[in-house]
Chain A
């Protein structure tokens, strides 16, 4: 059974803190994605990676960075968390030749106070 796991289901951080969200997939997928999900806005792509150490900005990269040192792991970093980054964060992965068939993790609900 394919699996995408995220390090935390719920996270509460203070404004200005550095925040790391971790995602691991066990399917040997080349592509990995980070989205944020907000009511009424659907999912918006923050960053995606198509290979180790390779990354591409999505639609809303401001305030975020990513790291992919190993194929199975993709990290989202909030350098200095702000209240407007309170959201649900979803990680996904896919094969490089099927970017539309994404497998999602359960999400991390981040609250920044």
Chain B
């Protein structure tokens, strides 16, 4: 069975500072990996994805994530936080031939001016 662990349910960053959200997964086979974002009062939307190829993937709004197989990690980063980045972020995995996502518990990001 797959599982996803997000370290830290809440993260507070200053505007302009680095955003780092941690995600580790456990899977018997290398999965596909995703980050979704949920802005207040909205549904989730796909931020970025890793399926195959380059392990550093770029997403919308300046976010990027790196798949590290040896560490079973897929951490999300953004060099400079903006107030509009305040949201909840979910890491998710799926098996290559699977049809169901498994989500982590989510990390809520607060951006301080």
Contacts and interface: CB of A to CB of B under 8 A. Distances in A.
Q: Which applies to chain A's interface (DSSP): helix, strand, loop or mixed?
A: strand
B99 A42 contact: no
A16 B95 CA distance: 38
Contacts of B94: 99-100
B21 to A, nearest CB: 13
Given A31-B99, A100-B32, A43 B46 contact: no
B102 to A, nearest CB: 8
B46 A101 contact: yes
B103 A43 contact: yes
Interface string B25-65: 00000001010000001111110010100000000000000
B99 A99 contact: yes
Nearest to B34: A100
- Chain A residues touching B, range: 20 to 34
Contact of A107 (B43, B45, B103): B43
B43 A104 contact: yes
B91 to A, nearest CB: 9
| 3 smallest beta-carbon distances between A and B, as pairs | A104-B43, A42-B103, A99-B99
Interface of A: 4, 31, 35, 39-45, 48, 50, 58, 90, 92, 99-107
Interface of B: 4, 6, 9, 32, 34, 41-46, 49, 51, 90, 92, 94, 98-101, 103-106
